[in-house]
Amino acid sequence: MPDIKVTPLGAGQDVGRSCILVSVGGKNIMLDCGMHMGYNDDRRFPDFSYITQNGRLTDFLDCVIISHFHLDHCGALPYMSEMVGYDGPIYMTHPTKAICPILLEDFRKITVDKKGETNFFTSQMIKDCMKKVVPLNLHQTVQVDDELEIKAYYAGHVLGAAMVLIKVGSESVVYTGDYNMTPDRHLGAAWIDKCRPDILISESTYATTIRDSKRCRERDFLKKVHETIERGGKVLIPVFALGRAQELCILLETFWERMNLKAPIYFSTGLTEKANHYYKLFITWTNQKIRKTFVQRNMFEFKHIKAFDRSYADNPGPMVVFATPGMLHAGQSLQIFKKWAGNEKNMVIMPGYCVQGTVGHKILNGQKKLEMEGRATLEVKLQVEYMSFSAHADAKGIMQLIRMAEPRNMLLVHGEAKKMEFLKDKIEQEFSISCYMPANGETTTVTTNPSVPVDISLNLLKREMALGGPLPDPKKPRTMHGTLIMKDSSLRLVSPEQALKELGLSEHQLRFTCRVHLQDPHSDSDTLSRIYSHLKSVLKGYAVQHLPDGTVMVESIVLKVSSSGEDPNLKVILLSWSYQDEELGSFLSSLLKKGLPSGL
């Protein structure tokens, strides 16, 4: 029995370092290759030694697919391809291909240049890794090899985020990456067709959350920012350079314009300008509204938002600063946070999920004293607000996607075990399908039941469809007979006659002849008529004919009557049938043996 195996190396009952191995139809695929923000040691990257102990992965993987540019989905890619060793194809969409190397370089700089780590991938490795990337277009069917094909769908999580359908023969798996089922200010909603995969591997970040409407959250966000500004406070919004940042910029830009606000908005990193440029060039990946109006007004050209300089952090008066990274675990956002944390007039708004171990995660849990490098502690007096702007599907969205794709099995990754548990029950109840949630290193095996494709001769099919009538009768299904010829790898279903002809065989005729003795005091021809009437009444639905040459035909079985010389009342009925009519012939001989009913 064929089966599909799924093993998460990362993101199994966890968020971070997404990396999922899938084996389907003899093909091995790695889905995402991310890093974990919460660790600074070996656990930062997935454990590739699970795949092989001795070195390179090329022989063990048919392809690698990256769903989007967030580092927890692609951060380990250069390590995997250049340091562990993988030379096969890496698939990602064009925007991901464009943005991914920039974030990787950023990540490398922070790790190597600032923290001084060695034994890390180099800039050259990032470049070499990106050379192995094959760009994917939405809905394009990419033939990885003769059997393995992949197809990308819009996921709406960040620019260029994709879900992918992996198909080998009639077996298939869908991996969602991170996705969002509600369109936002700059991206559209995820969409997939009814592809009925054997397994749907879905993220489950917000497995238990059902979020209020986006409009409410936006109003809330603007209100909080506005209030802080009004009382002269500073607002820090830690973000990743690409993604939520653009959505929030659009939001603030329009709000500032409408309210005629004067307080400065800054964006902390040099990346921004560039980032916004990517959005302009990949405008086809944004939502419909932006796409439609981009010729008149490009939404990613901001008037109110200016570049940030480090010295501005000490400026007096209100301001709003977007700073990277988003989880306050390093870099500029953390520096600004340290400066502003002591003033209760200020506010930090966390617009997305923070993994365990980061400063972001700690303050969201209400921690008021933070231990910093050295022995210093930092007192957190400023207001901490959490606004879920990260574009993940919530429980409702996940259910919606299941309804769209109609999978046979469900597998959850990229979420917390407890929350997964809850969603798993809900899915199993509502859809009556199995739902799995393997931990890292744990393999889930799903048995598939693929049907066998066969070439049927058009003659046979047409004949059968014509005989079947325009509408099938569910009570009395028609049985079709054919011969399956198996030669090399081809399977052809033809009519038995055609099979004989094709194989150069001649038909062997098997016939039976049977004489039945019957006492019937009538003339031979009367007896024949009586037999005819009898059969006619018994065999309803059969072609029973009385032929002028003194025989009765039932379908293709011939009956003849003669009487023996000695006893004219003793009739001999001669029955002759071929093997094809065996059942009917056997039935007739037994029937006639019992004599004719007297009523005739």
Q: Give me the active site residues, please.
A: 203
For other proteins, which is the closer residue by CB, 26 or 85? 26
Query: Interface with other proteins includes 487 (CB under 8 A)?
Result: yes
- Between CA 70 and CA 123 the distance in angstroms is 18
Give the x-and-dash track for 264-303 against other proteins (CB under 8 A): ----------x--xx-xxxxx---------xx--------
- Between CA 97 and CA 77 the distance in angstroms is 12
Distances (CA, A) of 552 to 57, 509, 530, 568: 77, 22, 11, 20
Among 54, 118, 119, 479, binds other proteins (CB under 8 A): 479
Query: Interface with other proteins includes 191 (CB under 8 A)?
Result: no
Residues in the chain: 600
Among 511, 519, 526, 545, binds other proteins (CB under 8 A): 511
For other proteins, which is the closer residue by CB, 14 or 581? 581
Question: What residues numbered 531-570 form the site for other proteins, per CB under 8 A?
Answer: 538-542
**What's the gap between Cα 2 and its chain centre?**
19
For other proteins, which is the closer residue by CB, 213 or 509? 509
Q: Which stretch binds other proteins (CB under 8 A): 15-23, 221-229, 326-334, 512-520?
A: 512-520
Q: Which stretch binds other proteins (CB under 8 A): 39-47, 57-65, 176-184, 582-590?
A: 582-590
Query: Interface with other proteins includes 516 (CB under 8 A)?
Result: yes
The alpha-carbon radius of gyration of the chain (Å, integer) is: 37
Q: Which stretch binds other proteins (CB under 8 A): 36-44, 326-334, 389-397, 449-457?
A: 449-457
Q: Can you read off the two tokens belonging to residue 31?
A: 């889905």
Query: Interface with other proteins includes 473 (CB under 8 A)?
Result: no
Beta bridge partners of 413: 203
User: Which letter does DSSP use for residue 540 in this model?
Assistant: T
Q: Can you read off the two tokens belonging to residue 133?
A: 């990337």
Among 210, 478, 523, 568, binds other proteins (CB under 8 A): 478
Query: Interface with other proteins includes 466 (CB under 8 A)?
Result: no
Q: Which stretch binds other proteins (CB under 8 A): 23-31, 204-212, 316-324, 452-460?
A: 452-460
Strands 557-563 and 570-578: antiparallel
Among 227, 497, 526, 567, binds other proteins (CB under 8 A): 497
Type and span of the H or E element at 588: helix 582-593
Type and span of the H or E element at 135: strand 133-136
Q: How far is the CB of 589 from other proteins (least distance, A)?
A: 7
- Between CA 572 and CA 588 the distance in angstroms is 14
Residues in contact with other proteins, counted by CB under 8 A, come to a total of 86
Task: For residue 78, report the phi and psi dihedrals to the nearest 5 degrees.
Answer: -65, -35
Buried b (16+ CB within 10 A) or exposed e, 215-247: eeebeebbebbbebbeeebbbbbbbbbbbbbbb
Among 27, 68, 97, 424, binds other proteins (CB under 8 A): 97
Among 484, 523, 526, 550, binds other proteins (CB under 8 A): 484
For other proteins, which is the closer residue by CB, 387 or 491? 491
Question: What one-letter code names the amino acid at 346?
Answer: N
